[in-house]
Structures are given as C-alpha cells and as structure tokens.
Chains A and B, each alone.
Chain A
Amino acid sequence: MTLFERVFNGNDAVYGLTEQAIDAAIAQHGEEKAVSFPNTAYCLPCYYAVTGVKVTNLKELKEALGVVKTLMTREPRLNDAFMSGVATALCAEFIEALKYIDGAAPYEEPLYGHLADAVIRELGVPLVTGDIPGVAVILGSAPTVEEGVALVKSYQAQGILVTLVGGICDQVAEAGMATGANVRVIPLGKDVTAVIHVVSVALRAALIFGNVTPGDAKTLMEYTMQRVPAFVNAFAPLDDVIVACGAGAIALGFPVITNETENIARVPKSLIVQEDVSKFNATSLEARDIKIKITNIDIPVAFASAFEGEIIRRG
C-alpha cells in the first residue's frame, strides 16, 4: 500500500469514529449541548486556527465535521495527504473535546490532556527566545522502558519541551520519572487522539505570538513550519491512524522520526527511518535544524533549564 493510501485509510478510520462519537453525544445530550475545552479563549483551538470558526455546541461541531470532510480529498497528491492529515488532527480534537462535556475531567495526574492558555503563554516566551530550543512529541511505546526514558531525559537535558502520548506515558511512570510542565516533560494521554493537545499548543502559539489570523491556514502552516521547532518521534508499530497523524505533523512542518521499517516510505527531512532509538535525538535535531550549544558542566546531577521549575519535597 502506498504511503498516501495509508494516510487516507487512517483519516477515514478516525473520521468514522468521530462521526459516531458526535452522533452518540447528540443522541445523549441534544444538539444545544455546549462543547469546550477548559481554560482557553480559543474554543476548539485547532479548528478555530485552521478555519476561523468558533465551535460552541454539538450542533456546530456536527457542522464542523462537514467542513472537515471537505478536506478529505483523495487524489494521489501530497496536498491531499497533507489536508487529510490536518483533517485527522481536527477529528482528534473533536473526539478529545467530547471527553470534556459537562465539565468532566477525563485526565488524571500525571496525564495532562488539554493544556490551558496560561501554560502556553508561560512556555511561549522561552520558546520564542530559544531558551526552549525545540518541542519533542513522543508517540507510542519505546522498545524498552530504559530506551524510552533515556530518550526523554536526553531531550530534557537539552532544555527541549517533551510531550508524551501513548505507551511512553506508562513507561516514564514505571521508571519513576518526575514529570510535569515544570520540568518540561508533559504526558498528555494514552489515546493517540491526545496528540492533538500538543498540536493545539503549536497552533495557539501561532495565534498568540505569531499574530496569525484565525482561518488563514496557509500563513498558519508557514508559521508553524518556520517558527515552531517541533518534531515527532513515533515508535513502531505504526498503524494507519498514526501515519495519518504524521501527515498532519509534516504538513505543519514537523518532521517525523520513526524506528518502523515495515511498509513505510522515507521522505527526506520529513519522514525519517532511524532504526536505532538511541540516535533518535541526534537524528531529530538535525532533521528540524535545531542547533544546541551545550556547555557541559561536570557535576553529579543533571543540569538544564528544564529543572528550573522543579519542586524539592521534604524527605
């Protein structure tokens, strides 16, 4: 199967789930039921950033799904794969939004789920100044806990903001690693759709700091490509849904580095197969053109700006 066909399949699958979820929610709550994420001024931030339309209730969400469907063209061209990737991301946002209906709290510590505007404003300045040189999105389960934790720590030591989705959340917890926005390691959630919460960070950054007009999708994607130094590390096995999400990431300018070797097509600077997980860090930084000057201070503990917010507990 070609790469584009995998993207289209993944997109179709997620679209189907989203449609069911919305219909079920309408059946349960009625069309007028409010839909929103907590602590944001941007409604469903990704959909708002891409289309300029604010979704407030289930009726509007259903309409929005119709708009998303128009992005799902099926010509064998990269534009179609990109737009299907974006459509997949928007569907993921809808699915995640439904989890928050009625003020529900679907995520429990240490998982974050949706990130509040305040967190983005706080991280935004160091992101612009380069104090946070990059944003890593780690997806899936590392081959071993040790490899996963080593990878997360390698980014953390470079001051890179690390977001985790899927099995890697459990892997860092199992290793007893301290996580949280204060130490720049943010476990988002275990469902693949939780990846939208970091996409939401990038898109809100474009609206907040880049002054991009909501709905100006072209400028939005140029901004994220040029200004948001994010990249994705996706662990094997990759299913079609993850491949479709990856297309969305690449559309925004974020390269995907994976150790998957089966049924995957390589794309220079965009979709890179690195079989050796211990080289994910170097491969990713080079792919995203992130250059970090490190002065190694020979001390017995880790040292990085990521640890500035660390809380030392008694005992």
Chain B
Amino acid sequence: MSTELTPLWEVFVRARRGLSHTHVGSLHAPDAELALRNARDLYTRRQEGVSIWVVPAGAITASSPDEKDAFFDPAADKVYRHPTFYEVPDGVAHL
C-alpha cells in the first residue's frame, strides 16, 4: 500500500464558536470522509472542537523559510499602514 493511495490530510479544528480553525496535526486516509471520521476520533476525543476541516496535504502550498524576510517583511517602507504613524494634535479625544 503506497502513500499515494492513502494520502496525507492536514487537520484544522475550531475549538469553540467564535474562534478560528487551528492546525492540529495530520493523518492518512483514503478519502475525505474517512479523513474526517479519523480526525474526529484522533483530535477531538476530549471536546477539543466543534468544527473540523480536512485538507489534502498536497493541496497546500507553503512558503519557504529562505524567503521569510522578503515574504513576511511587515513592509517597513509602508509605515503609514500603522495607526501610530499619524500624529494626533493635542486635545483631540476619542481618536
């Protein structure tokens, strides 16, 4: 049985209403339905979540660590994106 036949799935669980889905791990399953069932057994045995997403690992494109700098640079040349860039005159309230 080769790995291609039971592909890897990445599992995301949302803990409670209002929170976002968080990556919790991965598992092998032949199809999405079994992946979902296994994810329920594997990652939500103790009420860890109310919603599960499974995604074939092959469908995910990841950024590579060498391009981290350029990729995630918080745009130092675009300081105007931050509210602290703007000067508020004295005496102005609620701004």
- Are A and B genuine complex partners? no
